[in-house]
Structure formats: C-alpha cells, structure tokens
Homo-oligomer: A and B are copies of this chain.
Amino acid sequence: MESLFVIKIGGNIVDDENKLSSFLQSFAQLKGRKILIHGGGKVATKIGDKLGIESKYVDGRRITDADTIDVVTMVYGGLVNKKIVAKLQASGCNAIGVTGADANLIPATKRPVKEIDYGFVGDVKSSRLTVDSWQLLLNSGLTPVVAPLTHDGKGQILNTNADTMAQEVAKVLSTVYNVELIYSFEKAGVLLDANDDATVIATINPSSYQQMKAEQKIFAGMIPKLDNAFAALNSGVKKVIIGKAESLSELITGASGTSIVNE
C-alpha cells in the first residue's frame, strides 16, 4: 500500500501568520500523498463579534446558530482555507481546498438535540464515509486542504470538530493506504509537565499509556486526544504522531514529538 499522511493543524497555528507560513513550507516539501485538515482559529469569533453576532454558550458549550454557521462557513471554508491553498500553490504543492460537503467527502448528520441543542454542528457519519472521492483527488496528485465543515446531505453545512474529522478520514483511508495521522499544534508533544516542552514523551504504547494514566502523569486535557489516537490505531491507522507544527519534518522522522503506537 502507498503511504498517506493525514495532518491536522490546530487553530492557534492558523491564527499565527508566521507559524502558519513556516508550517506550510514544510508541508509543501513533504513528498507523497497527504491531506491537511485545519482548525478554525479565533478569526471567526473576531469577525462574528464585528458583525454583531454574539457567541452563544450553553453549559460552557459553544452553540452554532444560523448566523454562526454562516460566519464559520465564510471564515473556515473561505478565508482560512483559500489563504492556505494560495500559499501552498506558491510553494509548489497542488492543493485543493475543500469542506466535507465538496465531492461529498465527509457526510455528517446534525447532532441530535438531547440536553443541549448544539445547533448546526455535524457528527461525522462514519458508515457513509467512503474512500472514493478521496482517492479520486489523491490519485490525481492533488493535496486536499480541508476546512472543519461537513454537510447533512440535505443542503445544510455543519460546523465540525477538526480533530474528529482527521481521525475519521485517517481511519477510512487506512483501508487503502498506510496512514500516519499527525496532530500538530503549539506543544512539543504529549508532555509530563504541560508547561515544559522538554518533558515530551517520545513513544506511548497501550501499556505505557495505562500506567501513566494510573499514575496521573498525563495532563487531563490530553486524555481524549490519546484515547482517540488509540482508537485510530485499532481501526487500522499505522501511527499517530502528536507534536509541534513548526517541527513537521522532525515529527515524521520521529526526531520530535510523541509517537503513539500499538506495540
């Protein structure tokens, strides 16, 4: 099987023009098949504020109402996505900017209303997610750049978590490619001390993870990410790497970041 990198960059990288440019240069140089999935960043909130659209929260959870879905569609799907595409094209990477609606790449359903009505938020419909459109683009030598938006198949765009999108895409594509899933953000990897990049853990496997959790050595905020990483490995993804966006090439060689492996 051919190799494929599925790389997610966090919103705080998207917000920082210098970090983003440096990341995109490394990304453009990366050989072979690759997909970039970007978070939203704070620019949508800033533009929403300027447009007089209040950010709404219920029990601390952000709600995507009708005005907000328009703002995130504009900002994530338009401004952020196309700026990344133009920069990658300038670096010789044949990028194509998409959302989950384009080519029906990521079917989703509007999150069911239980205690909280999240509004226009999409949960990826794993059972309907297929490799077909992804393969068409990848086999054409294109590099998909994916904004954190999906659609419900009934004409509605939905706000969707970029981490989840990366994981779902990596999982389904691991049936046809050797997939390495990379979560790049502002930290050096999974850290023993959340404030000290020098305490990065180079490798985590299921038994070391259980032990570190039992000893409460892992920062609570990382646990959902790690649980997702192991779920991805159990679904066929070859390796999950977590680390600094600016160190992309070192993350791939294993010289930097945390590698999460099954053995």
Interface residues of A (CB under 8 A from B): 47, 50-52, 70, 73-79, 81-83, 85-87, 89-90, 94-99, 101-104, 133, 136-137, 140-142, 149, 151, 153-157
Q: How far is the CA of A75 from the CA of B136 in the complex (A)?
A: 27
- Grouping DSSP codes into helix (H, G, I), strand (E, B) and loop, the A interface class, with mixed when no group exceeds half, is helix
Q: List the B side residues contacting A77 at CB < 8 Å.
A: 77-79, 81-82, 97
Q: How far is the CA of A82 from the CA of B51 in the complex (A)?
A: 20
The 6 closest A-B pairs by CB, nearest first: A78-B78, A74-B74, A90-B155, A77-B78, A74-B78, A136-B140
**Do B82 and A149 touch across chains, with their CB atoms under 8 A apart?**
yes
10 interchain pairs, CB-CB under 8 A: A47-B74, A50-B52, A51-B51, A77-B77, A77-B97, A87-B155, A90-B154, A90-B155, A94-B133, A96-B102
Q: How far is the CA of A60 from the CA of B74 in the complex (A)?
A: 28
**Do B101 and A99 touch across chains, with their CB atoms under 8 A apart?**
no
The residue among A50, A82, A142 with the most chain B CB atoms within 10 A of its own CB is A82
**Do A86 and B52 touch across chains, with their CB atoms under 8 A apart?**
no
A101's partner among B97, B140, B153 (CB-CB below 8 A) is: B97
**Do B102 and A99 touch across chains, with their CB atoms under 8 A apart?**
no
Q: How far is the CA of A74 from the CA of B40 in the complex (A)?
A: 13
Q: List the B side residues contacting A82 at CB < 8 Å.
A: 73, 77-78, 99, 101-102, 149, 157
The residue among A52, A89, A140, A153 with the most chain B CB atoms within 10 A of its own CB is A89
**Do B85 and A102 touch across chains, with their CB atoms under 8 A apart?**
yes
The residue among A50, A79, A87, A94 with the most chain B CB atoms within 10 A of its own CB is A79
A78's partner among B79, B104, B136, B140 (CB-CB below 8 A) is: B79
**Least distance between A17 CB and chain B CB atoms (Å):** 11
**Do A101 and B89 touch across chains, with their CB atoms under 8 A apart?**
yes
Q: Known contacts being A81-B78, A86-B157, A142-B136, is A96 close to B94, with CB within 8 Å?
A: no
